[in-house]
Structure 1
Amino acid sequence: MSTPATSRHHKRPRGEGQWALGYREPLNKNEENKKNDDGLNVRQRIIDIYSKRGFDSIDPADLRGRMRWYGLYTQRKPGIDGGKTAILEPEELDDRYFMLRVRIDGGQLSIPQLRVIADISNDYGRGTADLTDRQNVQLHWIEIESVPDIWERLEAVGLSTTEACGDTPRVILGCPLAGIDTDEVLDASEEIRLLNERFIGDPAFSNLPRKFKSAVSGCPSHCTVHEINDVAFVGVELPSGEKGYDLWVGGGLSTNPMFGKRLGVFVRPEQVGDVYGGVIGIFRDYGYRRLRHRARIKFLVNDWGVEKFREVLETEYLKEALPDGPAPEAPRGSRRDHVGVHPQKDGNFYVGFAPKVGRLDGDKLHVIADIAERHGSGRVRTTVEQKMVVLDVPPDQVDSLVAELEANDLQVNPSTFRRQTMACTGIEFCKLAIVETKATAANLIDELERRLPDFAEPLTINVNGCPNSCARIQVADIGLKGQLVVDENGEQVEGYQIHLGGSLGVNPGFGRKVRGLKTTAEALPDYVERVVKHYDAQKKEGESFADWVQRADEGDLR
């Protein structure tokens, strides 16, 4: 571990708790728990003690802390309304069941892996299975007694829940089309595999200041949203024809959104492991550990600036300079989700489809596996838009595959609203949530399809149950942040603060907040219909919703 103590640019107030400056004393309860016992050590206690003695035997520091290192969170006790979210103690919000997050690095799944997740969902999770916007699958209603068997089943097919949550290097995003996209800059699958092998579950990186989100991709559509990851490697090509990665650090949303910043370096594929290790090492050693809400790497990058971050990376961690490199090309197309039927490099086709707001179940996962297998595919993928893709479909099988998917409401040619609406878990299961999300978003899709059947422009609608932006509200065309609002009768009801015109890509920007712009959940379809109609009537040739929002009259945004 690098621990230079006093060089001129490392002076920082003792209060930030940066290890590299010699300040190792825990400054809050989370840091204390991690110092007392590494989160990775909870696995054996779950197997040997908690699964045998039951929920009441679980140490509170494990229950609300270390168990996250293995993808386990207690879910919200049913019947607690959103007004109590910030008032009740954790033990009052905890149910005796868990959400379990299965990490799917690069979104890569074989048919046997998909079937195992489906079986676990049906056997232990009451059939629940949600696709997340980080390519994972989340199950609910998991009892502690079931966890060892679930792990055995997952690990038998090469899957894991290790560091799916917690202050750790979480799932590594990758393009679902890696290796098959006709236009990809390069295939990042091997880099993702090696990062997983080298860093996931390593105690040297299991006590970070907070979560650490990563992406490695050569996708021409920039589907892994590199701009909002803690670290991202984006495929680029030098004038000489050599291919490698452009390095971005310090992206993230939540209550203090920041876009990642280019370090301006060129990283050869074989250097990705060392560079990733350097970035995560800087975060571990220099990251702020005093206040949880300032403990993400984006705050360090923001305070240091790109030049200093690069200097520390090269001199203290890599012990060599990285060459300057080019910025990525502009993203291909206006949608990043890989939905639809498209040719692969090898003459076969991939078929992307849209479950409604990422919600599936164990039976439906089996159906997807059956359909894929019948049509010659042994591989499926998850995307960062809560969608799925079937790979390797022979040309003469495409029409039949599409027909079977659509017959099961897995739409290959969805409306804009089905295709581009996403929702976080919401109050149904999440202890941080204030409002319902999945059902509200699904109802919104149905209403908009009925009311605006001919609207076909790209339009993202992201629905979040609290301010933390798991569903990326600040970078959506219409971002909906859950909160309690007062309706026309003076009653406090579920509703949303509205962010408009957020975007990634060529002109990234966070959504515009119009003073006092809120809606009740009940009035949400009316509001979205109204603002979409204004855009449709006023847009110039080729003008995006985000661009229109910047020039629109405030009255047209209400």
Structure 2
Amino acid sequence: MSYDRTTTTTSPGPAPVGERVRGPKKDRSNGQWAVDGRTPLNPNEVFKAADDGLNVRARILETYATEGFDSIPADDLYGRMRWWGLYTQRDQTLDATRTGKLTDAELSSRYFMQRIRVDGRILSTDQVRTIASISQDLARDSLDITDRQNIQFHWIRIEDVPEIWRRLDEVGLDTITACGDTPRAFLGSPVAGIAADEIIDPTPLIEELRDKYINTGAFTNLPRKFKTAITGHPSLDVVHEINDISFVGVRHPELGAGYDLWVGGGLSTAPRFAERLGVFVRPEEAAEVWAGVISIFRDYGYRRLRNKARLKFLVADWGAEKFRRVLEEEYLHRALPDGPAPIPDGTSGDHVGIHDQKDGRKYVGFAPTVGRIGGTRLARIAKLAEAAGSRRISFTPHQKLLVLDVDPDKVEELVTAMEAVGLTARPSPFRRSTMACTGIEYCKLAFVETKGLAARVIDDLEQRFAGVDIDTPISLHLNGCPNSCARIQTADIGLKGQLLGGSEFGFQVHLGGGLASGDREEAGLGRTVRGLKVGAEDVPGYVERVVRRFLDQRLAGESFSAWVARSDDKEFL
């Protein structure tokens, strides 16, 4: 991808829809460009209007990397550098009592998190080795697979960013709009084009979106971030209900394979599931439809208050019917056909285990502990994959890793070898279904440790449930703050980090959430157990207590979430 470009801070929009959109407040401007004009209404909008975030790349390469951390002005350091996937990481000397009380600058260290934009693509083992080398050489061997299918490094010095970008560019990877008020990296089915039971291969759509719309000025000043998910697999493996826009593979009875369109999902402190627009999107028009939806967000999204600026708030106010009408009449200038809804096939969307490919080979899904890999281990994984006949690896939105194209007679050899480096294709229910965000180790918003705690909890639970047959998935998600990067509201057991009092930290409990995948046909938000707070050291005991009650009380074939829905709060204490 070429980065020689001249960005602009404005882009043409459509004619007004006609009626004024009702936002959070009826008596004041909500900063909707198509309604209120483009006068910035808060400091975030001011700095975005002053200079396109993509333009900071040149300053990083030409000035900051040579003159050092102290040369970076605040608007770039805490703002525009995010457009290239760079966040300052937390000063590790500051404990949880300082979260929310100090400014971003006061909480920051002089090191960065660097996020690689993967876009759901299958990676070659050469690309994987490059990622591993960056971790080993420039990031203190740090490397996490995120639940957005991205890679995150920590301990990055500004002086090393040009070298990181150079290495990534050599193998066709980048960090563009990996953060910021932009179209973030796309979620894509990790088995795109290879799974034997795939409905449609989303790879051409993802590549078209990258080629047409990423690294242009059209969508680099959005009200907030914009998350995309695209799958053609019947396991519904890209958590489509909680993205701003999702294309989900379906078969239309007359028009063949294409996509069902969902808009307006998101979690954080105001969780809301996406809504189906009820349209069928032909593969050849999907990129145009994506551009129409993100343009609606750019032009009509609420910019006055950042906590109301996600697309989900606009969809909530408009409703699916109006959103579809605006999309068709004002942006596409044509109607889209009605289409069928996706139906999960009953298999797990994390793809852990051994599976058939279209070509007779196998793909094998492994469960790293809460996505934490490290560069040294990733390099070893690439070598083991090649020994099994594979040169391709993919990541999942569940913090998992898949080795593709495995020779059938080498599957068990690979499984055994990967066990030796700490990745299993036959994990316990807890190792398979536990996720954790970055936590206070690096994140300035967090109150609690998550990654290390989750690893200890998994080890403890495996001992507590040794010999117990748990024949249904029970997901456990740990999040360091209320923002739900680890999707706590859609877990069977979701733990939200917070201060319990003084300097003690722990978790608020959410129970019974889930997304449509596996044996669950509909998504649902978890139930908050009022007044219940669990200390970090008490997490294994609490999870054991609740899971054993479920196993004792469940009806035949009943899921954990169904048991939670029919039980009284006393069962969860």
| TM-score bin, normalised by smaller chain | over 0.9
Q: Which of the numbers 189, 196, 210 marks the counterpart of 1:182?
A: 196
AA partner of residue 2 (structure 1): G
Residue in structure 1 matching 2:556, options 541, 544, 547? 541
Q: Of 423, 447, 455, which aligns to 1:410?
A: 423
2:109 match? 95
Residue identity in the other structure for 1:443: R
Q: Does 1:443 align with 2:495?
A: no
**In the alignment, does 2:472 pair up with 1:461?**
no
Partner SS, residue 120 of structure 2: helix
Q: Which amino acid aligns with 1:437?
A: T
Letter in structure 2 aligned against 1:30: N
SS at 1:116's partner residue? Answer: helix
User: What amino acid is aligned across from residue 508 of structure 1 in structure 2?
Assistant: A
Aligned match of 2:5: none
Q: Which 10-residue stretch deviates more, 18-27 or 444-453?
A: 18-27
How many residue pairs end up in the alignment? 553
What letter is aligned with 2:46? Answer: E
Letter matched to residue 364 of structure 2: V
2:508 corresponding residue in structure 1: 497
Alignment partners' CA distance in 1, 2:13 and 2:119: 28
TM-aligned CA deviation for residue 240 of structure 1: 2.8
Do the aligned partners of 1:111 and 1:379 also contact (CA within 8 Å) in 2? yes
Structure 1 residue 365, shift from structure 2 partner: 0.5
- Cα distance in 2 for residues equivalent to 1:160 and 1:452: 43
Quote the Cα distance in structure 2 between the aligned partners of 1:89 and 1:380: 39
- The AA in structure 2 aligned to 1:500 is L
Given that residues 423 and 464 in structure 1 are in contact (C-alpha distance below 8 angstroms), is that contact kept between their aligned partners in structure 2? yes
Residue 222 of structure 2 corresponds to which residue in structure 1? 208
Paired-residue identity, %: 57
The residue aligned with 1:287 is 301
Distance 1:370 1:320 in 2: 51
Q: Secondary structure at the match of 1:203?
A: coil
Q: Give 2:505's aligned amino acid.
A: E
Equivalent runs, 1:417-432 vs 2, <5 Å: 417-432=430-445
Question: Does residue 311 in structure 1 map to residue 325 in structure 2?
Answer: yes
Q: 1:438-494: per-residue Cα shift (whole Å, max 9, x none)?
A: 0111111000000012242200000000000000000000000000114xxxx5411
* SS of structure 1 residue aligned to 2:425: coil
The aligned residue for residue 515 of structure 1 is: 530
In 1: Cα distance, 2:17 partner to 2:264 partner = 24
Q: How far is the alpha carbon of 1:2 from its aligned partner?
A: 2.5
1:553 Cα deviation from its structure 2 partner: 2.5
Distance 1:405 1:455 in 2: 24
Question: Whole-Å Cα distance in 1 between the matches of residues 536 and 21 of structure 2?
Answer: 48
Give the aligned partner of residue 51 of structure 1.
Answer: 65
Question: Aligned pair in 2 of structure 1 residues 42, 508: CA closer, same or farther (>3 Å)?
Answer: same
1:124-182 per-residue CA deviation (whole Å, 9 max, x = no partner) reads 10000000000001000000000011101101100000000000001111111111111
**1:396 to 2:401 alignment:** no
Structure 1 residue 226, shift from structure 2 partner: 0.4
Q: Aligned match of 1:337 in 350, 356, 378?
A: 350
Describe the superposition over 1:208-245 as per-residue Cα deviations: whole angstroms up to 9, x where unpaired: 00000001111110010100000000001011361100
Residue among 128, 132, 140 paired with 1:126: 140
Aligned partner of 2:212 in structure 1 is 198
Match of 1:143 among 122, 132, 157: 157
Q: Deviations over 1:72-118 (max 9, x none)?
A: 00000012111111001222111000000001111421111100000
Q: Which residue is equivalent to 1:8?
A: 19
Range that drifts further, 115-124 or 455-464: 455-464
TM-score (norm 1): 0.98
Alpha-carbon deviation of 1:515? 1.2
| 2:383 corresponds to which of 366, 370, 379 | 370
Structure-to-structure mapping, 1:266-277, within 5 angstroms? 266-277=280-291
- Tell me if the contact between 1:2 and 1:317 (Cα under 8 Å) persists in the aligned partners: no
Structure 1 residue corresponding to 2:178, chosen from 156, 160, 164: 164
Corresponding residue number in structure 1 for 2:90: 76
Change (3 A) 1:238 1:434: same
Q: 1:483 aligns with which of 498, 511, 520?
A: 498
Cα separation, 2, equivalents of 1:256 and 1:107: 30
2:99 corresponding residue in structure 1: 85
CA apart distance, 1:11: 6.3
Task: Say if 2:478 and 2:494, in contact at 8 Å, map to a contact too.
Answer: yes
Contact 1:107 1:135 in 2 (8 A): no
C-alpha distance in 2, partners of 1:5/1:36? 25
Deviation per CA, 1:408-455, whole angstroms, max 9, x where unpaired? 111110000000000000000000101100011111100000001224
| 1:557 maps onto 2:572 in alignment | yes
User: In the alignment, what sits opposite 1:28?
Assistant: 42
Contact 2:22 2:317 in 1 (8 A): no
List per-residue Cα deviations over 1:1-45 (Å, max 9, x = no partner).
224247135466542100011421111111000001110000000
1:488-525 per-residue CA deviation (whole Å, 9 max, x = no partner) reads xxx54110000000011113111111210110001111
Tell me: CA distance 1:137–1:81, structure 2 relative to 1, closer, same or farther (3 Å): same
CA–CA distance in structure 2, aligned partners of residues 519 and 228 of structure 1: 26
Indicate if the aligned counterparts of 2:20 and 2:35 stay in contact, CA closer than 8 A: no
* CA offset digits 1:379-414 (Å, max 9, x no partner): 000000000000000111111111101111111100
Residues 507-554 of structure 1, C-alpha deviations (whole Å, 9 max, x = no match): 311111121011000111110010010001111111000000011232
In structure 1, distance between residues paired with 2:320 and 2:141: 46
User: Given the alignment, which residue of 236, 260, 264 partners 1:246?
Assistant: 260
Q: Paired residue for 2:9? A: none
The answer as to 2:241 corresponding to 1:227 is: yes
Q: What does residue 355 of structure 1 align with?
A: 368
State the secondary structure of the residue aligned to 1:15: coil
**AA partner of residue 29 (structure 2):** G
- In structure 1, what residue type is equivalent to 2:202? A
- One-letter amino acid of the counterpart of residue 438, structure 1: K
Q: Partners in 2 of 1:31 and 1:48 — Cα distance?
A: 26
Q: Which amino acid aligns with 1:78?
A: Q
Query: What is the rounded CA distance, in whole Å, between the counterparts of 1:90 and 1:305 in structure 2?
Result: 36
Gap regions ≥5 residues in structure 2: 1-11
Write the deviation string for residues 345-401 of structure 1: whole angstroms up to 9, x where unpaired. Answer: 111000000110100111001011000111111100000000000000011111111
Distance 2:509 2:158 in 1: 38
Q: 1:320 to 1:108 in 2, by over 3 A?
A: same
Give how far 1:57 is off: 0.1
Q: Secondary structure at the match of 1:69?
A: helix
Please tell me whether the aligned partners of residues 75 and 97 of structure 1 are also in contact (alpha carbons under 8 angstroms).
Answer: yes
In structure 2, the residue matched to 1:61 is 75
